[in-house]
Structure 1
Amino acid sequence: MRILLIHQNFPGQFKHLAPALVANGHEVRTLTLRQDLPDQWQGVTVHRYRAQRNSSPTVHPWVGDFETKVIRGEACFRAALQLRNQGYQPDLILAHPGWGETLFLQDVWPAAKLAIYCEFYYRSAGSDVDFDPEFQRPQGEEDTACRLQLKNLIYTMQGDRVTAGIAPTHWQADQFPEPLRSKITVVHDGIDTEAIAPNPSATITLNNQLKLGRNDEVITFVNRNLEPYRGYHIFMRSLPEILQQRPKARVILVGGDDVSYGARPPAGTWKQIFLKEVADRLDLSRVHFVGKIPYNAFLSLLQVSSVHVYLTYPFVLSWSLIEAMSCGCAIVASDTAPVREVISDGETGRLVNFFDPAGLAATVSELLASPSARAKLGKKARLFAQNHYDLQRVCLPQQMQWVRSLA
């Protein structure tokens, strides 16, 4: 089968699926905005393209996001035309549509089946937008629903053209409306639970002098960027009580100072805003901001973690949570969707009210005081990750079966 993969930052979510398709004898190509890839990537033929213009500074503010997607869609469309004119005809287009690239592809290849990665469908109620009252839009700004309709146009414009979809969690799939929802199969991207595993001898070194291992009290908190969508503000507000209750504990926060999701702060960074809020009540010598770190260092950090805290709005589930489970971490997580799909309170971790810093502090302190409880939770968390999210035994075979079903 001739398969065309489309991702603006290829391989993205197709990192493992793409070479597996090649190994199964399919002819696999990709269209991508990435310019640093070679002409061949693990057997995949790479076709690069560029956007030909920038967004208009004077466009209606509601339309700015959609205009950007149309610009990318046009660039991908013209690159697809070149491939078609060279005689290329895919049987299946498998794409992440989130940046607009798939908008016009079936006008180039109407006979090709289009399957999409369904990461997130925006809703103005019951999801991320209206979840946290601390960051609600001021009264008089009732245009949120209008803006979200336009963000979702990439899906509503193609709903009747899409053959199938795939989503990593049931909650993410359930955000999509019919008729698209009925076309979505739920399969997680998968993680390598053999490589991402407990290591009793793991250590980490902070500031080139402080060495920590499994016998130390280490609290870990990991985000791509430290921001409200991932509960950074709640975590920081819990720290004064945690550090008071656990005088030997050290807190390590991984994440950048930028914004991945949601609004930017009015000034400065979210990291500094919420650090400043509690700084005078913290022993800052025991709180370590390490920024973004190499992946091997990230795994070592999880392997020495005594308690791993994961908080999130009802939003896309972070891979880091599944990786922490696979490392056997004792996890304290927010009682939010889709976290409840992987963490059962008292079984694979502990769940706490997202908006309760005191409850979070009490639960973390309780686990730090009980090595046996931590070991029990960590063991069950790893087993759950192995049984449901292992890349080679569970997720990749399901992904391959999904592709075969589209043939």
Structure 2
Amino acid sequence: MNYLFVHQNFPGQYQHIVQHLASQPGNRVVFISHESPVQIPGVERVVYQPFRTAKPTTHHYIQELELAVVYGQSVHEVCRRLKAEGFRPDIMIGHNGWGETLYMKDVWPDVPLLAYFEFFYHLHGADIGFDPTVPVTENDGPRVRTKNVINTLGFDAADWGQTPTGWQWSLYPDYMRSRISVIHEGVDTTVVTPVPDAWLRLPSGLTLTRKDEVITYVARNLEPYRGFHVFMRALPGILKRRPKAHVLIVGGDEVSYGQVSGDGRSYRDLLMAEVGHGIDRERVHFLGKVPYSSFLSVLRVSSAHVYLTYPFVLSWSFLEAMATGCLLIGSSTIPVEEVLRDRQNGLLVDFFDGAALTDRIDEMFEHPDRMQTLRDRARRTVVENYDLRTVTLPRHLALIDDLIAGRTPAERTLK
């Protein structure tokens, strides 16, 4: 079989699936993306460069749409070249969000296209307006409605869709949900495991193990969408309550979601200026972005792992933390509550309640034996519902096989 993937950030959500497909004899896997140092054995990379960016004079509602058209046209040109070279995919698979899948069917109209639908934007009931410190403006309604043009055009171009969680699926209109399956990318629970004797050596030379009090926080970037401001404002009280605890903070200083700060400083700098006087720099360790092996070591030595998020896309790190047997203290927001049940496989707190977060962390340290049951159940949740080899990959492959064969997928939502 010939498989054609597209995602600007190789391999994006497709790491597990392309590794599997490329390892099977007789398969050819071609992946269109921007330049990346990442390599996967057996996967043929085709790099495209957008021929321009959105013009600053373009109306701000449609700058993202203009860039999506540029991306789509760039991928279209690559597909035409591949076709001229004699390549014909049996299926095309790609992320809808940046417009890359928009015109692939114009090159191969009879080849099925499976598109990844990550988030349908809403003015109410999701991320916008959730945080009262970021007020909704009169511009937001038209802006958000226009932002969904890429979703709508991408859906029209695709034969079928895929999204990772039930809540993300629920955000799409009824007519879209009928052609979108819920399949998470999955967690390789044979790799992402608890390690009782795990240890982590910090740049300072300090070595931490499971015997230490270790509080962990992980995000791609340290920003309000992932509750970094709430965590940091609670931190002086947490440190005071737990005088022996060390805090490991993983994440960069850019902005993945939402707006940059008003004065352009990183949120880490802003929050340290606000609450840094109450933080013991010898016990709070900003690790930045770390290699995956170091990330797993952080989780494995964790005593309490804090995960806060707006009602938005659920982070991979959340499920990976559960798979390593972390004691999760998560925000009681919809994407978290889809997986985490309070006092069953973790603990929930109100996103904005720093005092409650402090209390939950303190409770965890005061009752470690009781919390071991929650750790075990957290891992079991991932093994039973999100395991790569036994749950998500078989479902993903079945969906692809159905589309190649011209069948309507047997399970519409595959929850």
Q: How does 1:233-244 map to 2 (within 5 A)?
A: 233-244=229-240
Cα drift, residue 367 of structure 1: 0.4
Query: In the alignment, which residue of structure 2 is the partner of 1:275?
Result: 272
Query: In the alignment, which residue of structure 2 is the partner of 1:133?
Result: 132
Query: In the alignment, which residue of structure 2 is the partner of 1:312?
Result: 309
Which deviates further from its counterpart, 120-129 or 49-58?
49-58
> How many residues get paired?
402
SS across alignment from 1:332: strand
Which deviates further from its counterpart, 104-113 or 355-364?
104-113
Distance 2:333 2:246 in 1: 26
Query: In the alignment, which residue of structure 1 is the partner of 2:92?
Result: 93
Cα drift, residue 16 of structure 1: 1.2
SS across alignment from 1:103: coil
Cα deviations across residues 328-381 of structure 1 (Å, max 9, x unaligned)?
Answer: 111100001111121110011001110111111101111011111221111111
Q: Which runs of 4+ in 1 moved over 4 A?
A: 35-38
Query: In the alignment, which residue of structure 1 is the partner of 2:410?
Result: none
Distance 1:263 1:99 in 2: 18
Do the aligned partners of 2:117 and 2:151 also contact (CA within 8 Å) in 1? no
Cα drift, residue 37 of structure 1: 6.4
Query: In the alignment, which residue of structure 1 is the partner of 2:389?
Result: 392
Aligned CA RMSD, in angstroms, stands at 1.6
Q: How does 1:251-270 map to 2 (within 5 A)?
A: 251-267=247-263, 268-270=265-267
Query: In the alignment, which residue of structure 2 is the partner of 1:374?
Result: 371
SS across alignment from 1:15: helix
Query: In the alignment, which residue of structure 1 is the partner of 2:285?
Result: 288
Distance 2:176 2:30 in 1: 26
SS across alignment from 1:136: coil
Do the aligned partners of 2:219 and 2:226 also contact (CA within 8 Å) in 1? yes
Q: Does 1:114 align with 2:113?
A: yes
Relative distance call for 1:280 and 1:325 in structure 2 (3 A) is same
Q: How does 1:174-185 map to 2 (within 5 A)?
A: 174-185=170-181
Distance 1:272 1:224 in 2: 16
Mark the runs of 5 or more structure 1 residues left unpaired by the alignment: none
Distance 1:184 1:266 in 2: 38
Do the aligned partners of 1:31 and 1:49 also contact (CA within 8 Å) in 2? yes
Distance 1:62 1:100 in 2: 16
Letter in 2 for 1:366: E
Distance 1:25 1:151 in 2: 40
Cα drift, residue 393 of structure 1: 1.6
Mark the runs of 5 or more structure 2 residues left unpaired by the alignment: 405-415
Letter in 2 for 1:182: S
Query: In the alignment, which residue of structure 2 is the partner of 1:49?
Result: 48
Letter in 2 for 1:101: E
SS across alignment from 2:269: helix
Distance 2:398 2:159 in 1: 15
SS across alignment from 2:178: helix
Distance 1:10 1:34 in 2: 8
Query: In the alignment, which residue of structure 2 is the partner of 1:72?
Result: 71
Distance 1:37 1:329 in 2: 29
Query: In the alignment, which residue of structure 2 is the partner of 1:248?
Result: 244
Which deviates further from its counterpart, 224-233 or 92-101?
92-101
Cα drift, residue 36 of structure 1: 4.6
- Per the normalisation by structure 2, the TM-score is 0.93
Cα drift, residue 87 of structure 1: 3.3
Distance 1:54 1:336 in 2: 35
Distance 1:107 1:128 in 2: 34
Distance 1:152 1:110 in 2: 24
Letter in 1 for 2:374: L
Do the aligned partners of 1:159 and 1:179 also contact (CA within 8 Å) in 2? no
Instruction: State the identity as a percent.
Output: 43
